[in-house]
Amino acid sequence: MNYTMKDIAQRANVSVSSVSLVLNNKPSRIPKETKNKIRKIAEELNYRPNSAAVFLSKKISYNIGLIVPDITNPFFAFLTKTIDERLRASNYSTLFADSNNSFEREVQIINNMISHGVDGILLVPSNKFFYQPHNKLQEMIDNLNKPLILLNASSDLRVNSVNFDNVLGAIMATEELIKYGHKSIAFIKGKDHFVNAPERYQGYKDALKKNDILLNPNYVFEGDYTIQSGYQVAPNIFNQRDITAILSSNDLMLFGIIKWAKEHRENVFKRFSMVGFDNNPYTEIIEVPLTTIDQEIGKMADKAIDLLLTILREKVRDSKQIIIKPRIIRRNSIKSEHSR
């Protein structure tokens, strides 16, 4: 086993209480020399406090649960990295779990994390999360007795959340294309129950309306955010001869379209202007890097952690919905409509 305060106390000829007071820098009347002696012994023994014992008496574990739907998705990987880094900087650790896009797992994991004594939970919900009956979810959240923050998702539940303004993001993207003269803009939407998918579709529609462009239902396609689904939908887009631009709900599906085009010897970059969502780092591989809507992950992580730490510090109970403005990253995948 590891050394305990008892070991230090014995070696320093003081009581455990004194050791505790000193190592935690609590105000006490213990003189400098004794303090130094205790600190030195702790150092020598490489004393590490037993968090379980600390938790038992203080009810603070300095563990925060983080649940993501799929860590192999670069978006969630970057988010996880940033959150872990920020938490560590505030002296917290990350209890991690991958829900593998399953709601049942999410519930299991949440229970398990509470059992493991996390101080709070950051949940990046899977698409399946919002399938559930509203009141059941609300009850679960309310019964947690620990702060829960939803990331990358919005909800009308009474719950803290941090999300990007997806409607705005899609508007920005659509208007960028319109600015370059495009009027026949295809949209690849995610499935209706996907987190943030309806909002992106809404933004697309809003932007068209605002610019007096009629929505053509033949220009709207659907995918499931994977490269494959982009690949599958690609021929249909190429078949619609008047489409000049594509807005995709994420970058991955554009990758699929590009792959299909290359295999079929179509010059996709000449034929279409393209904008995606997510700022996928692998855009680097593409010979023409994609213009994309960047959800600034660092910002989201910061906001979420600020919110969480504030709740923990001040024990507030009401829930807050934070919305972050996305930004557009202009690269080379948009050409003026007339230059084609």
Partner DNA sequence: TGACTTTGATCAAGCGCTTTACCAAATGCC
Partner DNA sequence: GGCATTTGGTAAAGCGCTTGATCAAAGTCA
Residues that bind DNA (CB under 7 A): 1, 4-6, 13-18, 20-21, 23-24, 26, 28-31, 34, 49-50, 53-54, 56-58
Tokens encoding 133: 């009956």
Inter-CA distances, 208 with 203, 253, 331, Å: 9, 22, 22
Tokens encoding 257: 């379209």
Stretch that binds a copy of itself, among 10-18, 34-42, 259-267, 323-331 (CB under 8 A): 259-267
To DNA, the closest distance from the beta carbon of 15 in angstroms equals: 3
Inter-CA distances, 284 with 183, 247, 289, 332, 334, Å: 28, 19, 6, 12, 16
8 Å CB contact between 141 and 167: no
Which C-beta is closer to DNA: that of 21 or that of 254?
21
Q: Which of 6, 26, 40, 48: binder of a copy of itself (CB under 8 A)?
A: 48
Q: Which of 5, 12, 21, 113: binder of a copy of itself (CB under 8 A)?
A: 113
Does position 121 bind a copy of itself by CB under 8 A?
Answer: no
Does position 93 bind a copy of itself by CB under 8 A?
Answer: yes
- Report the C-alpha gap between 173 and 267 in whole angstroms: 22
Work out the number of other CB atoms within 10 angstroms of the CB of residue 27: 6
Q: Is 198 exposed, middle or buried (0-12, 13-18, 19+ CB in 10 A)?
A: middle
To a copy of itself, the closest distance from the beta carbon of 152 in angstroms equals: 16
Q: x/- site string to a copy of itself, residues 213 to 252, per CB under 8 A?
A: --------------x-------------------------
**Residue 9 C-alpha from the chain's centroid:** 45
HSE of 210, CA atoms in CB hemisphere, 13 A: 14
Tokens encoding 113: 């994390």
To a copy of itself, the closest distance from the beta carbon of 209 in angstroms equals: 34
To a copy of itself, the closest distance from the beta carbon of 286 in angstroms equals: 7
To a copy of itself, the closest distance from the beta carbon of 54 in angstroms equals: 8
Which C-beta is closer to a copy of itself: that of 81 or that of 158?
81
Which of DNA, a copy of itself, none has residue 247 at its interface (CB below 5 to 8 Å by kind)? none
Q: Give 143's contacts (C-beta < 8 A, 6+ positions apart).
A: none
To DNA, the closest distance from the beta carbon of 145 in angstroms equals: 11
Q: Which of 20, 63, 248, 279: binder of a copy of itself (CB under 8 A)?
A: 63
8 Å CB contact between 109 and 99: yes
Which of a copy of itself, DNA, none has residue 26 at its interface (CB below 5 to 8 Å by kind)? DNA
